[in-house]
Amino acid sequence: MEKFIYRFNNQGSNSSLNSKEILGGKGTSLAQMAKLGLPVPPGFTISTRVCEYFYKNSKKIPKKVIQESKKEINIIEKISKKKFGDLSNPLLVSVRSGSRVSMPGMMDTILNLGLNDKTVIALKNKTSNGRFAKDSYRRLIQMYANVVLGIEAHFFEELIENYKLTKGVIQDTELDESDWDGLIKNFKEVVKEKTKRDFPQDVNEQLWGAIKAVFLSWNSKRAKIYRKINYIPDDWGTAVNVQAMVFGNMGENCATGVAFTRNPSTGEKEFFGEYLVNAQGEDVVAGTRTPQYISKNLRKKSNSKGLSMEELMPKIFSQLKKIFNQLEKKYKDMQDIEFTVENNKLWMLQTRSGKRTAKAAIKIAVDMVKEKLISNKEAILRVDPNVLDTLLHPTLDEDAEKIVIASGLPASPGAASGKVAFSADEAERLKEQQQNTILVRVETSPEDINGMHAANGILTARGGMTSHAAVVARGMGRPCVSGSNEIKIDYENKFFKSNEHVIKEGDIITIDGGSGKVMLGKVPTVKPDISAEFSKLMGWADKIRKLKVRANSETPSDTKIARDFGAEGIGLCRTEHMFFEEKRIISVREMILSKTLDDRKKALAKLLPYQKNDFIEIFKIMNGLPVTVRLLDPPLHEFLPKTDKDIEDISKVLNISKQDIKSRIIELHEQNPMLGHRGCRLGISFPEIYQMQCQAIFEALAACKKKKLKLVIPEIMIPLVSTAAEIQILRKLVEKTAEEIQHKESIKIKYYVGTMIELPRAALRAKDIAKFADFFSFGTNDLTQTTFGISRDDAGKFLNDYVENKIFNKDPFVSIDERGVGELIKIAAERGRAQKKYLKLGICGEHGGDPASIEFCENIKLNYVSCSPYRVPIARLSAAQAFLKKNKKTN
Ligand code: PEP
Ligand code: MG
C-alpha cells in the first residue's frame, strides 16, 4: 500500500528517503538532517501524492492520512514531552509547504497551531512568559485568519497600527501582554464578523484547516504565476510538513538565525550569517531589528557593534560550525541554513543549496574540487552558463535604488547609463565630448552603426531578439533592450514617453540588457571581474567538450575579443556588416542603386580595398584558425537610404538627381525584404558582387602569405540557398575567381565552399546540396523565421502572448524549437552526411550561444557552434556540460 506519511527520523529503508518528488525539498532536507543525527524538531511529512489525491478527489484528504497523522502527532508528543491541546504543557506545531523545487514565499505556512483561549494560558504558565504566549496566539489568529479563512491581512495590521498610535509606540516589541490581550479580542471579533464563526478552538480543526490551506496554496494565483515563469509543472503538487514548534523568542537565551556555509556573494570559505537574540524567524526577514553577524570575523570586517554569536553564544556557535561542515560533506555544496536556539538548545529548521552570485558559484565549485569534495566534472555542471553573462559585462549595483520606467526584451546583456540620444549622429557627438549615451531608436538599421558603437547602450521600441539592433549589439558587446513597446518616440520633438514619464534628449536613463528593464537616471554599475577560478573552470570545460566554439565576428576589434574569450575560429563573418561604416555604406548604396553593370562594378571597385584590408586584419588575428566568410546577404531594407539626408548624400556621390534616387528606391522596394532579393539570390543576379568578395578574400590570403603569416583556410559560405543549383553555380564562380587569383599571384590557395542552411527547403534537399558543399552552417535565425513564418523583426510584438498562452515555452528565436526547427536540422544533418560522411556541420544563428540549444547541437553531433564574442565562454561551458550530460545518460 502506498505510503503517504514519512517521519523525519524514521524513514526506514524506503527508497523515497531522498526523493524530493515525494517529500518536497523541505521535507527531504529535514529527513536527511534527522538521519545525520542533527537536532531537528520532531515531525512528519505528508507526501506530494496526497496533494495529487486532494485535487483529484474534490479536495478531500484520504482517511488513512488522517489516521496516520494522529499517530505521528502522538510520536511528536512523546519525543517533546508535550501534548497537542493540553492544558498544562501544550504542544504547538507548524504546518509548512514544500514542493520539489523551492518556490520562495509562493505558498503558505502557518505557525503556532495548537493555541486557543485555554492552551495559551497553559503556555504562559509553563514558560512564565505571558507576553510571549499572547504574542504567539495573536500571530496564530492573524496567520490562520488570512491563510485558512481568507480574511485579508490588512484588517489585522490596521488594528495593530491604530493601537500603537493611541499608545504612542512605534515597535511591536513595545506592546506588552495586556496590549496583546486586547488585540486578540479584537482579532477574534474580526474573524467572527467576516466568517460568522468563532476562531476555531479545537486544535485538530486548526491542524486540518491549515493542512488543507497549504494544499490549496499550491494553486494560488501567485504560485501559478511563479510556476509559469520558472517552467515548474502544475502537476507536481506540494508536500506538507508538520513539525513541533521551537521558539527563539522566549528570552535572552533564545535566538534565531539564517546562515550560509560560505559567503554567497564572494564564494569565500567563511561562515556567513545573521542572527537575532530573543526573536522569531520572521523578525530576521522583516528587518524590524538589525540582525547581528554570527562570526566574530564578519562582525569585525563590517565594523558592526552588536556582538556576534561566536562571542555571545560560543557553545552554540561551535556546535553550528560542526553542523555546517557535516552538511557540506553530505550535500557537497554550499548550504543555506535556518536555525533556532530555544533556551540554549540549538534546533535545525532547514538546509538547502544556497543561492549565490555568479562569482561565488565559480569560486565555490573550483574550491570544492581543491577540497576534494567534488570532481572537476561536477564543478563544470554546477555553474549555470547563463550567469557568466553577469561576469563578462558590467551589472547594476544590486543595492542601488531603481525607478523602472519601461521594459522590453533582454537583447544584449550588461547595464549602461547615459544621456538619451535619438540619432546616431547625436550619440557620436556626445561620445566625442566624452559623455555616456544611450541610443534610443524605434528600430536600428545599418546607418545607425556608428551611433551604436558610440553609445554605451541601445534601446529600441521595436524588434525581437534577432532584430538588427539585438544581433549587432550582442556582437559589439553593447547592452541592448529591444522591442520595448511601452516607449513611444517622437523624433521630431526629441522626447519619448513611457507610461507617465516623459524623457527628453539629453536626459539620463539606465538600461539593463540582462533583464530588459529601462530605468530613470543613472543607476550605479559594478565592473566585471574575471577571476583565476573562472579561467580554471574554463580550462576544465575545454578539456572535456567535443563541440568546437567559434565566434560570429566581422571587425578586427570583435575578433580580438573573441580570441581572448577562447574562440577557436570564426563561424560567421557577415560581410554586409563590414560595410556599416559611413564611408563604406555610401558605396554599398551606390552598388545597390546602380542600374547598370558598369556602375555596379565601379561601386564594387571602391569596396574591394576595404574588404581586402579587413580580411588581412582578421586573418592575422585568427592566425591559422578557420574563418567562415559569408558572402553578401543584405536584406535590402537594411541598406536602402531612408532619410532625406541619406538621399541627398547618395545623390551627390552618384551624381544623380534626388528624384531619380527616390524612384529607384521605389523600384527596389520589397513587400517582404526578408524573403526578397537577398542572400545567394543577389549572387545569382549580380555575380560581380560575389566575385569581388572572393577576390578580396583570396588577395588577402596572398598578402598574408607574402608577410609569411600563418595561413587561414577560409570557408566561403553562400547564404539563403534553397536549391542545389544555386550552390552549384556559385561554387563555380568561387572556383573561377580562386583560379584567377592563384594565377595572378602565382600561389596555391586552399579554401572550402559551403552553404548556410536557413530555409526549410534547403534542409529537406540537403543530400543534393551537399554534393556541392564542403560544409553546412545552420542559420537558425532565418530557419526559425521561415519555419514558423514569423518575422524575426516583428516577433517581439506578440511573442509574449504566445508564451503567456503556453503556445511557446520560450522565445524560439532564443532557444531552439527542437520539435520543428530542430527536426529540420536533424534531417539536414542526416541527409547531408549521407552524401558526404565527413561533412562539417555548425550552427551560426543566435542559438549558437544558448545553453539549451548547444545541448541540442551536441546531441545531434554537430562539429561546432558559433556565437557572438561575449557568449564564447558561455558556449564553452555549455558544450562541456552537454557532453557530460549526454554521457551520463548513455552510461
Ligand atoms: C541566420 O539566419 O541564422 C544567420 C546567422 O544569418 P543572419 O542572422 O545574418 O540572417
Ligand atoms: Mg540568415
DSSP result, 389-433: HHHHS-EE-TTS---EEEE-EEEE-SEEEEEEESSHHHHHHHHHT
Cα–Cα distances in angstroms (integers) from residue 121 to residues 81, 143, 365, 767, in the given order: 18, 20, 52, 84
Cβ of 135 less than 6 Å from ligand 1: no
For residues 755 and 770, what is the distance between their CA atoms, to the nearest angstrom?
9
Q: Which of 393, 453, 468, 577 is catalytic?
A: 468
Q: Which of 51, 480, 844, 857 is catalytic?
A: 844
Distance 351 CA to ligand 2 centre (A): 48
Any idea which residue has 553578401 for its cell? 632
Q: What are phi and psi of 595, to 5 degrees?
A: -95, -25
Distance 587 CA to ligand 1 centre (A): 23
Q: Whose CA is nearest to atom 1 of ligand 1?
A: 779
Identify which of 637, 757, 782, 862 to mutate to test ligand 1's pocket (most ligand atoms within 8 A of the CB). 782
Cβ of 283 less than 6 Å from ligand 1: no
Going edge to edge, which strands form the sheet with 5-7? 5-7, 43-46, 238-244, 93-99, 109-113
Q: What residues of the chain score a pLDDT lower than 50?
A: 12-16
Q: Whose CA is nearest to atom 3 of ligand 1?
A: 779
Does the annotation count 669 as an active-site position?
A: no
Any idea which residue has 556541420 for its cell? 841
Cα–Cα distances in angstroms (integers) from residue 828 to residues 456, 628, 822, 867, in the given order: 40, 19, 10, 21
Which ligand 1 atom lies nearest to the CA of residue 782? 2
Which ligand 1 atom lies nearest to the CA of residue 758? 2
Identify which of 553, 756, 817 to mutate to test ligand 1's pocket (most ligand atoms within 8 A of the CB). 756
For residues 401 and 417, what is the distance between their CA atoms, to the nearest angstrom?
14
Q: Longest C-alpha distance within the chain, in Å?
A: 105
Residue 328 corresponds to which cell in the numbers above? 557540506
By the 10 Å C-beta count (0-12 exposed, 13-18 middle, 19+ buried), 232 is classed as: middle
Cβ neighbour number for residue 104 with a 10 Å cutoff: 7
* Residue 289: per-residue pLDDT: 67
Which residue type occupies 40? Answer: V
* Residue 781: per-residue pLDDT: 97
Classify 477 in phi/psi space as left (phi over 0), alpha (psi -120 to 50) or beta: left
Distance 842 CA to ligand 2 centre (A): 14
Q: What are phi and psi of 314, to 5 degrees?
A: -60, -35
Any idea which residue has 508528543 for its cell? 77
Q: What are phi and psi of 409, to 5 degrees?
A: -85, 140
- The DSSP letter of residue 241 is E
Q: Give me the helix-helix angle, 48-56 and 203-217, nearest 10°.
A: 90
Cβ of 844 less than 6 Å from ligand 1: yes
* Residue 16: per-residue pLDDT: 47
Cβ of 786 less than 6 Å from ligand 1: no
Which ligand 1 atom lies nearest to the CA of residue 847? 3
* Residue 527: per-residue pLDDT: 75
Distance 471 CA to ligand 1 centre (A): 9
Distance 649 CA to ligand 1 centre (A): 29
Question: Which residue, among 651, 669, 670, 649, has the nearest Cα to 660 in the 3D structure?
Answer: 651
Cα dihedral 552, 557, 559, 561 sign: negative
For residues 751 and 810, what is the distance between their CA atoms, to the nearest angstrom?
38
